[in-house]
Structure 1
Amino acid sequence: MCGIAGIFYPAMPKPVDPVRVRAMTDVQAHRGPDGGDVWTAPGVGLGHRRLSIIDIAGSPQPMRSADGSLTVTYNGEIYNFVELRAELQARGARFVTSGDTEVLLHGWAAWGPALLDRLNGMFAFAIHDAARGCLFLARDRMGVKPLHYAELPDGAVVFASELKGLLAHPLLRRTPQITAIEDYLAFGYVPDDTSIVAGVKKLPAGHFLLIERGKPVPAPSRWWDVDFSRRATGSRRALEEELVERMRAAVTLRMVADVPLGAFLSGGVDSSAVVALMAEASPRAVKTCTIGFDVAGVDERGYADVIAKRFATEHRERIVSADDYALIDTLVAAFDEPFADASALATYRVCELARETVTVALSGDGADEAFAGYRRYKFQAAEERVRALLPASLRSRVFGTLGRHYPKADWAPRGFRAKTTLLALAEDGAEGYARSVGVTTPALRAALLTDTARKALGGHRAEDRYVRAMRDAPARDALDRAQYADFQHWLPGDILTKADRTSMAVSLEAREPLLDYKLVEFAATLPDDLRLRHGQGKWLMKKAMERYLPKDILYRPKMGFVTPVGAWFRGSLADEAAALARSRTLIGSGWFDPRAIETIAADHRAGRADHGRTLWQLVMLERSMARLFGA
């Protein structure tokens, strides 16, 4: 895994200072501690930091073609590079390295942008084609690997794996973007279609950007999308067998490495399934690791130990204190943009543990999105059945009135939060789901922001991106649309950003076999009742894994990494929550109402409401903005 960066002048070939490119890569040295280099030519400069995984002694980057016309800098892994290499050799290509990077050069020469359709992997790369006078930027289908870019006042287009790479260029203006703050407050992360720094963009998952000299910088082009509009045919048994085979192939592909390899093991369905298939394919004991908490109710080490013993893995575990908020500044530095998924603390710790013995770790990320594993899908399906029984006008009048007057019960499980459910039923399915994936409600966001901020937003509403995604989805029904929207926003913006930044912060490569595109495309065709049946998400996947895993692992309640932020802000972080109302960063921006912040901190501390997640958002926002824009 690596960090990449570069500079390209589309209008005319201005000279590129290699010192600037090196500065952009050096701030990403954690992504590639094994070395780095810079290449420049008139109008272009490419930089690279390398974490050696395949062909350790060879494949230096930036890599040039034999004739010098093509140069690539690349972050990621192409899992099917061996078969592509053979196909290209049959066409006359001559290789001088044994890794996957050179496949991109010969593949571009042979197929141009159509190369992307042939790749199975996680990647973000840039190819400079001197003959065509262009720069080609591409990102993998799911958005596993990041790529940021911006246009500068001197006409340059700059790009980097992480935002900090762009910020190392002195001409990038650091101006906060209010719409991204609204989005962050809504979801707890800055979505992939925006950035907290005005003018910075993220190349969307499954898109490429072809910048040609002498032409304006175009909008990115989509080259892949998940399609929920088709349905697989065949018996349940046949689909189950196909699912197992696709999972097996996805895991096996990701076990190729010239460095020590292992897996994260939480004891949940997804990581346990990956470990089971790794053990089946490996002649040696699989290296696994897990972290536990010093709070019994959220400690999953016992389940992980069951799987470790079942498959005779070389297992390591570590206990982490639930009060591990000392990592705040480490996470702020790793993510650049504010990121308030508090499970990032635990994810960082398990990556840290894994890196002690391996360089590559397989994870179970992606199964919830692909196979409908989140509880919110169950609630969305139930709410849609109720919506179908009543006209929209009646629903809005009856449920809306009840929802507005029903007392808020943040402490209760989702199924008993009648206020949340009633308000969702008053809206259409897309609006209701957009609200359900949020952290801070529109009403609370409006209270937190000043009139100046609300005016600057100009009517921008964070939930609209979800509503658009669901209404335009290539889908048949409500479950399809909810999953599709999560693939567009939640997966790349939260789950994969968390996995990338926490693993790369400790120079660990994380691989997600359950996001293999062929597996995802197959999962999207499964009938609804094979994804979600009787309230049980990932139904067919669990049935398929019964041959490998015990039922008390497959069908136990989902736990996940739990971080007790609510308790923190009533205890050890209570003073920090109160201090937010006096923050020079937040209040000094003119965008936040100090009285509103003071009220939610006081209400939370007194137990009158649960604002723990919102307070965590504000703490992470304050730290990130101070780091990005100064106090």
Structure 2
Amino acid sequence: MCGIAGVLRFDGQPVDPALVAAMADRLEHRGPDDRGQWLESSVGLGHTRLSIIDPHGSPQPMESADGRFHITFNGEIFNYRELRSRLDYPFRTNGDTEVVLALFTAYGVQALQHLRGQFAFAVYDRETGGVTLARDRMGILPLVYSLDHASLTFGSEVKALLPAIGEPRLDETSLAHYLRRRAVPAPDTLYAGVRKLPPGHVLSVSASGKADLRAYWTPPPPAQVMRIDPQEAVDLVDQRLQDAVRDAMVADVPVGSYLSGGVDSSLIVAMASRLTDTPMHTFCASFGDPRFDEVEHARRVSDLFGTNHHEVALDASGFQDLWPRLTVHRDAPVSEPADIAVFLLAQDARQHVKVALSGEGSDELFAGYPKYRFADLTIRAGLVPAAVRRPLLHLAERAAPTSATRARIAARALMEGSTAERAVGWFAPFTTTEVAAMLGRPMAPEPPAPPHRDGIDLLCRMDLAGWLPDNLLERGDRMSMAASLEVRPPFLDHRLVETAMRLPSDVKVRDGQTKWVVKEVADRYLPQSITQRRKVGFKVPLDAWFRTGMRDLSRDLLLSSDSITSSWIEPSAVRALLDSHTSGRRNEEARLWTLLSLEQWARTCLRSTAEVPGSH
């Protein structure tokens, strides 16, 4: 993958080459192999390259054969060879970038319908003087922009925009969304004036600044459900995932894989190992806590498929050292403690490969989280008036013991007012009532829940639209690119996604078993000791760290006189959370992490616009 950046001015004045160079400088970690820029009149495009396909050719920005289009491209088009064979075009390179240009020459923006892969790019049209921004269907790769009366500025990461747009400022409206979700949903960001291009969308901006944002892809609607036998569903998912893994292996450099020891990554390794002539490299993280460590399971899978296996360890001290640096890479609060471990995995993997496969997306597509067992309650809870339901559930949540984490999460989610708020609430560190009290103002109402067949379908659709791209995929992209590693999630091949969203819910959760259809596929490749064991998740033992090595740091960050977030959030509420957690009365790790990450972001990203620390 790569870094892209650019500016389109609407006043007819030329773009300063030094500005484009400065924007590209902020993206060197995304593309350490090569860089380039192209400027003409009121447009400037920049690019930093991580060479995966046609590594010794395909320099960017690239011009189409007829000179009309110029592109700066980030990503991989997995079906580029097939597309190339069908196009009548005078190709000069062997890469996928020129295939996108050829498609634009032939079809214009309809070229997007032909692409299979993960991508974010900008195309300048000499004929119209406009720029088109496009992002892949699932939002695997990022694209942010700033648009005002004077110019369009865009880039792979927010930091690339700062030389053009100036000192970053907090977007106060998005603060409430962050406290609810640990991430800000597209199209907004925590930065005032900076927006994310939503997944599956294209933004066309004319030479005069007129903008047109529209979706070119959406998941199949609820009515398009398949009438399918459960075993036929297993066969179909098996075949679709095989196709996706085969596509994800397309590269001119070695491809490895993350291997946590869970079902998803183990299944990816099992399928990918069949496609290689040499042993794959696999990578696993260890946290030194038996509650969360899956290293023994990962070793078993590695032994089964003969991979070259690597393990990296993370402890509280290493965590603290990396946190500020990775917050700058994240361009946002580090939403999950596991983000740090993902970086260490990527850093280790980069010593052996340039590309790694991951199991991301399976839980959201196939109902893998524990909440999916109780998904219909998300809808049915609304039958009880909020005035009755909320105080009863609040009492139950306060009375639940520290060990009853899932019961407390359920109570907090189900006390919310609307169906959409309850759906968000399953992953929310704070309730809407708590956020309103902390900020001293009511939250804007959640948008209505999307059309859905049942509770499982609802949660899948909302996770796919929000939790996955705005949290997990952003995390995966920023942490891997901080180490100059490309990550590919085969479960998010759009053909598999379309299949998953048309499957009936009773093959996703069956007889109380979450992700049933995927586990049935996995049984064909892996021992049941891997496929049928209890889900652990990729977690850091933060509860213990907050009571030991990170206890003083937490208080210093949140309660000291130079705390930035204390001017945004009521300090007494923060102090109560810290006291409750350190005393052991309650496990407040998720809520403390949300606040600590916000403070760390404010200190590292709002106070300074310096280069990424430790990136060179």
TM-score (norm 1): 0.92
Secondary structure in structure 2 of the residue aligned to 1:23: helix
Q: State the distance in 2 between where 1:629 and 1:87 align.
A: 49
Conserved 8 A contact 1:581-1:595: no
Q: State the distance in 1 between where 2:6 and 2:586 align.
A: 48
In the alignment, does 2:143 pair up with 1:147? yes
Secondary structure in structure 1 of the residue aligned to 2:591: helix
Of 321, 330, 343, the match for 1:326: 321
Cα distance per residue 1:566-613 (max 9 Å; x no partner):
22222222222222122424256x322223322322222222333222
Of 443, 446, 464, the match for 2:446: 464
2:403 corresponds in structure 1 to 412
One-letter amino acid matched to 1:65:
S
Cα distance per residue 1:419-468 (max 9 Å; x no partner):
8438716745433222222112233323433x4xx2xxxx443x714xx2
Conserved 8 A contact 1:292-1:300: yes
Answer with 401-410 or 115-124: which moved more.
401-410
Cα distance per residue 1:148-176 (max 9 Å; x no partner):
100256x011000000000122x435221
Q: State the distance in 2 between where 1:264 and 1:168 align.
A: 35
Q: State the distance in 2 between where 1:439 and 1:533 align.
A: 28
In the alignment, does 2:239 pair up with 1:262? no
Conserved 8 A contact 1:429-1:478: no
2:562 corresponds in structure 1 to 584
Answer with 130-139 or 593-602: which moved more.
593-602
Conserved 8 A contact 1:293-1:322: no
Of 269, 272, 282, the match for 1:278: 272
Q: State the distance in 1 between where 2:123 and 2:312 align.
A: 42
Conserved 8 A contact 1:295-1:322: no
Q: State the distance in 1 between where 2:83 and 2:590 align.
A: 46
1:295 corresponds in structure 2 to 289
Secondary structure in structure 2 of the residue aligned to 1:553: helix
2:411 corresponds in structure 1 to 421
Of 584, 605, 608, the match for 1:628: 605
Do the aligned partners of residues 408 and 188 (structure 1) sit closer, same or farther apart at CA in structure 2, a change above 3 Å counting? Answer: farther
Q: State the distance in 2 between where 1:72 and 1:410 align.
A: 56
Of 505, 513, 517, the match for 2:482: 505
Q: State the distance in 2 between where 1:207 and 1:107 align.
A: 17
Of 228, 231, 251, the match for 1:234: 228
Do the aligned partners of residues 362 and 421 (structure 1) sit closer, same or farther apart at CA in structure 2, a change above 3 Å counting? Answer: same
Aligned-residue offset at 1:233: 2.9
Aligned-residue offset at 1:286: 1.6
In the alignment, does 2:151 pair up with 1:156? yes
Q: State the distance in 2 between where 1:124 and 1:156 align.
A: 20
Cα distance per residue 1:54-103 (max 9 Å; x no partner):
10110000001123221000000000001111111xxx211010000001
Cα distance per residue 1:123-142 (max 9 Å; x no partner):
00000010122101000000
In the alignment, does 2:109 pair up with 1:109? no
In the alignment, does 2:78 pair up with 1:79? yes
One-letter amino acid matched to 1:225:
T
Conserved 8 A contact 1:3-1:31: yes
Q: State the distance in 2 between where 1:152 and 1:23 align.
A: 20
Conserved 8 A contact 2:394-2:411: no
One-letter amino acid matched to 1:276:
A
Q: State the distance in 2 between where 1:410 and 1:565 align.
A: 18
Of 197, 210, 216, the match for 2:210: 216
Aligned-residue offset at 1:105: 0.8
Aligned-residue offset at 1:528: 1.0
Do the aligned partners of residues 594 and 22 (structure 1) sit closer, same or farther apart at CA in structure 2, a change above 3 Å counting? Answer: same
Do the aligned partners of residues 344 and 587 (structure 1) sit closer, same or farther apart at CA in structure 2, a change above 3 Å counting? Answer: closer
2:330 corresponds in structure 1 to 335
In the alignment, does 2:368 pair up with 1:373? yes
Q: State the distance in 1 between where 2:336 and 2:562 align.
A: 24
Q: State the distance in 1 between where 2:429 and 2:133 align.
A: 33
Coordinate RMSD, CA, aligned: 2.0
Q: State the distance in 2 between where 1:420 and 1:307 align.
A: 33
Q: State the distance in 2 between where 1:431 and 1:44 align.
A: 42
Secondary structure in structure 1 of the residue aligned to 2:310: strand
Q: State the distance in 1 between where 2:357 and 2:274 align.
A: 15
Answer with 592-601 or 362-371: which moved more.
592-601
Secondary structure in structure 2 of the residue aligned to 1:241: helix
Do the aligned partners of residues 70 and 587 (structure 1) sit closer, same or farther apart at CA in structure 2, a change above 3 Å counting? Answer: closer
Do the aligned partners of residues 603 and 422 (structure 1) sit closer, same or farther apart at CA in structure 2, a change above 3 Å counting? Answer: closer
Answer with 575-584 or 346-355: which moved more.
575-584
1:345 corresponds in structure 2 to 340
Q: State the distance in 1 between where 2:168 and 2:378 align.
A: 43
Question: What number of residue pairs does the alignment pair up?
Answer: 604
Q: State the distance in 2 between where 1:502 and 1:489 align.
A: 19
Answer with 404-413 or 348-357: which moved more.
404-413
Of 480, 483, 500, the match for 1:523: 500
Do the aligned partners of residues 37 and 583 (structure 1) sit closer, same or farther apart at CA in structure 2, a change above 3 Å counting? Answer: farther
1:565 corresponds in structure 2 to 542
2:237 corresponds in structure 1 to 243
Conserved 8 A contact 1:32-1:50: yes
Q: Unaligned 5+ residue runs, structure 2?
A: 609-616
2:613 corresponds in structure 1 to none
Conserved 8 A contact 2:130-2:206: yes
1:177 corresponds in structure 2 to 171
1:129 corresponds in structure 2 to 125
Aligned-residue offset at 1:237: 2.6
1:619 corresponds in structure 2 to 596
Conserved 8 A contact 2:233-2:507: no
Do the aligned partners of residues 379 and 26 (structure 1) sit closer, same or farther apart at CA in structure 2, a change above 3 Å counting? Answer: same
Aligned-residue offset at 1:215: 4.8
Secondary structure in structure 1 of the residue aligned to 2:252: coil
2:163 corresponds in structure 1 to 168
In the alignment, does 2:435 pair up with 1:445? yes
Aligned-residue offset at 1:317: 1.9
Aligned-residue offset at 1:254: 1.0
One-letter amino acid matched to 2:242:
R
Q: State the distance in 2 between where 1:137 and 1:101 align.
A: 15
Q: State the distance in 2 between where 1:318 and 1:15 align.
A: 48
Do the aligned partners of residues 300 and 423 (structure 1) sit closer, same or farther apart at CA in structure 2, a change above 3 Å counting? Answer: closer
Q: State the distance in 2 between where 1:422 and 1:139 align.
A: 34
1:604 corresponds in structure 2 to 581
One-letter amino acid matched to 1:183:
H
Do the aligned partners of residues 193 and 426 (structure 1) sit closer, same or farther apart at CA in structure 2, a change above 3 Å counting? Answer: closer
Q: Unaligned 5+ residue runs, structure 1?
A: none
